[in-house]
A and B are shown apart, each in its own frame.
Chain A
Amino acid sequence: MYKIALLGNPNSGKTTLYNILTKSRAKVGNWPGVTVDYIEGNYSYNNDKYVVVDLPGIYSLSPYSAEEIVTRNFLFDDSVDIILNIVDASNFERNLYLTTQLLEVGKKVVVALNMQDVLQKQGLSLDTKVLEEQLGCSVVSISAGNNEGIKELINTIEKVAKSDDSAKTSTILKESEIYDHITNLTHEFKISDFTACKLLEGDTLAKKEFSEKFSEKDYEFVAKEIDILKSEHDKSPDIYIADLRFNFIVDLYDKAISKKIDYTKDSQSDKLDKIFTNKYLGLPIFALLMGFVFYLTFGPFGSYLLDTADNLVNVELVSYVEQLLTSLGSSDFVISLITVGIIPGVGMVITFLPQILILFFFLSIFEDTGYMARIAFMMDGFLHKVGLSGKAFVPLITGFGCSVPAIMSTRTLDSARDRKIAIIITPFMSCGAKLPVYIVFAAAFFPGHETLAVVSFYMLGVVVALLSALLLKNTMFKGEEAPFILELPPYRLPKAKNVGLALWDKASGFFVRAGKILLPISIVIWLLQNFDTSLHMTANIQESMLASVGAFIAPIFTPLGFGNWESSVALLTGLVAKEVVVSTLSILYATGDAGLIDTLSAHFSTLSAISYLTFVVLYMPCVAALAAMKKEFNSWKYALSAVAYQTTTAYVVALLVYQIGSLFIS
């Protein structure tokens, strides 16, 4: 078995290559920071097993953020046999900086020169023979997006893995004056060339590791070498070493490239950026695009889809199943369990699938084309104003899909302060599971204005998240936000495969959740609704176990305008997963042919419905997100404090909405 560490700059196509090699379907995005933890998969070739580990993208081996530290530590793991360095050939000079460092780690390196198709479109080519000679490792041209060059890459990996040659290290530093200083350190402390070089660069991680093994006096020896280097070259060693690397890269590029690029000419992406990231046009264009997407999803077309699906599931299917079971002589107990418990509970949420797919279809296109990264760029200034690094955009936007990966992606933030703020505010973003709740209330209380209603609740989450960041920045987490460097990927036409996979994942995940979460919960809710505390079946729902639990917590919500036990119970069950709110309300409120949308207005006024939705938007996330928060904070104290903050905020905002609203609406 051979272990391959797949490594490269952010957005260089690592995950695409990983998916091809291991036949997996990990998420791929045209924006940096998609991979925040390592993913492991494997493939077999000529009876040998190769384990591929996809690591988060990094620009250099001098780490700043948590995920960069994960990557660097992993590289030095003894089990890693080969480093597969993926290099974006269309961004060769910047990508090769990492390569020059990887060649000093002392492991076998294979360079996969990706994005050949982009290079070819520019009428360019890179001579792999020249690259191999100069770098001292195998180089293979590939186009991961088009599945080209993969066979040759797999062959090369096998050849390198089985070769008895030991790993060659780069000659960049060995041929420079700095190598004498590196050797001084390696002889004195018996450390590797790599560690010695990092110490001279003033790398904080290397310094920390050094201080754990050696005394302060020993470090004085290192400091002396740094001082000598400074005086010899009139610049700090890290700058000097970076210069050495870049001079090597520029020289190598000149030798390997078929013709020079005229950087004075605007590329296609530059031309598009002049419009999409324009100071004045950028945000209005973004607002227009999002408006269009929301209108298509929740406007007349979306409503038509919802009505059709609702009618199909909650009327036609219920009536068909009822007739079928009656004709088969089933008892009332079973008929009620299926037609009042299971079908409304599971079916009500399933009916929202078409709208959810439309929304995520467009979001996938934004992501795959590279437009999402532009939105991050435009939001940077705004996020800085509320005390967040522009990088916080990644978890915030991921939060629209699901809070669990969004909370995990806060690892891409460089400072612990930024990370903590981002973890606390991310659940305010409306995840996909909250969408069914918005849709059903919008259809019931704002017919004809569904788009505006849904957008308003999305915006409420965003505004509260930003205000919370501002509040936390000025109270608990004082300090400066970390600077934000964002690479704008080139615009690409969306790949049908990527968009298709994103939609498939969404749809299949939806059905998996329906089966694993909604189905058992619907059964339990129906049982609790039909049995009293003495475990006798009751026709009077007010005597049921569910009513007893609900009646206990309902008074808490009376000042918010929805102090009935059914809506309170739905909030409680919603902690398992947010769409369960709709399932619960559907089981408790739907009667006969009238679905949930038709019956909601009998239980909520428009104002109390707004207050209820406000609470749903903001209150604590589901248990899975809570577990993710605990994992990222590495502390129950912080995780529970975050949950208390979110729920208190939800309560206060919903209270204000209802009480102030009551002054104007009788």
Chain B
Amino acid sequence: MTTLDIIIIICAGLIVVASIVSAVKKVKNNDFGCDNCSGCKNAGSCASKKNN
């Protein structure tokens, strides 16, 4: 395995861990909004948080 391989594997691992942490946070805060919708930024509590 080359150094590049190790970097790629670590990055892939971090991406997965970060997305799991982010998903758990969202569930905890009941915050599903713009991040998960198609980027419409329609008014709603999600947009309100984004603008803050």
Contacts and interface: CB of A to CB of B under 8 A. Distances in A.
| A, B: real partners | yes
Interface of A: 15, 22, 24-27, 34-41, 54, 56, 328-331, 333-334, 337-338, 342, 398, 401-405, 408-409, 431-433, 505-510, 512-513, 516-517, 519-520, 523-524, 577, 622-624, 627-628, 631
A500 to B, nearest CB: 14
A352 to B, nearest CB: 12
Contacts of A631: 30, 45
Given A623-B32, A624-B32, A408 B44 contact: yes
A64 B31 CA distance: 28
Given A334-B8, A510-B39, A523-B16, 18 more contacts: A27-B43, A34-B43, A35-B43, A37-B44, A38-B48, A40-B48, A56-B43, A404-B33, A404-B36, A405-B43, A408-B44, A505-B40, A510-B38, A512-B35, A516-B35, A520-B15, A623-B32, A623-B36
Interface string B12-52: 10011011101000000010111111111111111110011
Most buried by A among B2, B40, B42: B42
Nearest to B46: A404
Given A404-B46, A516-B19, A520-B15, A432 B51 contact: no
B37 A509 contact: yes
Given A41-B51, A627-B32, A337 B8 contact: yes
A401 B43 contact: no
B40 A506 contact: yes
A144 B30 CA distance: 35
A402 B48 contact: no
Contact of A24 (B12, B18, B37, B51): B51
A458 B32 CA distance: 25
Contact of B19 (A22, A24, A35, A520): A520
A35 B35 CA distance: 19
B39 A37 contact: no
Contact of A401 (B4, B38, B45): B38
Contacts of B39: 505-510, 512-513
A39 B43 CA distance: 6
Most buried by B among A25, A34, A331, A577: A331
Contacts of B45: 37, 408, 631
B43 A334 contact: no
Contacts of A624: 32-33, 36-37
A404 B35 CA distance: 11
B8 to A, nearest CB: 5
Nearest to B35: A516
Contacts of A337: 8-9, 12
**Which applies to chain A's interface (DSSP): helix, strand, loop or mixed?**
helix
Nearest to B45: A37
A516 B22 contact: yes
A331 B5 contact: yes
B37 A329 contact: no
A405 B4 CA distance: 42
Nearest to A342: B12
A512 B52 CA distance: 19
A387 to B, nearest CB: 26
Contacts of B22: 516
19 contacts: A26-B51, A27-B42, A40-B51, A40-B52, A328-B2, A333-B1, A334-B4, A401-B38, A402-B37, A404-B33, A405-B40, A405-B42, A506-B39, A513-B36, A523-B12, A523-B15, A624-B37, A627-B30, A628-B32
Interface of B: 1-2, 4-5, 8-9, 12, 15-16, 18-20, 22, 30, 32-48, 51-52
B22 to A, nearest CB: 7
A432 B36 contact: no
B52 A405 contact: no
A631 to B, nearest CB: 7
Given A36-B43, A405-B42, A22 B51 contact: yes
Most buried by A among B2, B8, B34, B36: B36
B43 to A, nearest CB: 4
A520 B16 contact: yes
Contact of A39 (B5, B40, B51): B51
A507 B40 CA distance: 10
Contacts of A338: 8
Nearest to B48: A39
B40 A401 contact: yes
Nearest to A624: B36
Contacts of A24: 51
Contact of A513 (B16, B38, B46): B38
Contact of B43 (A15, A403, A432, A517): A15
A513 B38 CA distance: 8
Most buried by A among B41, B43, B46: B43
A408 B37 CA distance: 12
A509 B12 contact: no
Contact of A26 (B12, B15, B47): B47
A27 B41 contact: yes
A401 B35 CA distance: 14
Contacts of A507: 39
B44 A36 contact: yes
Closest 6 CB pairs of A and B: A509-B39, A624-B36, A405-B42, A520-B19, A627-B32, A404-B37
A577 B39 CA distance: 13
Most buried by B among A34, A330, A405, A433: A405
A510 B38 CA distance: 6
A356 B22 CA distance: 27
A334 B40 contact: no
B40 to A, nearest CB: 5
Contacts of A26: 41, 43, 47, 51
Contacts of B42: 27, 34, 36, 398, 401-402, 405, 408-409
Given A27-B43, A331-B5, A506 B32 contact: no
A528 to B, nearest CB: 11
A272 to B, nearest CB: 27
A397 to B, nearest CB: 12
A299 to B, nearest CB: 23
Nearest to A407: B44
A524 B18 CA distance: 13
Contacts of A512: 35, 39
A56 B46 CA distance: 15
Given A38-B48, A40-B48, A627-B30, A622 B36 contact: yes
A37 B35 CA distance: 18
A37 B46 CA distance: 10
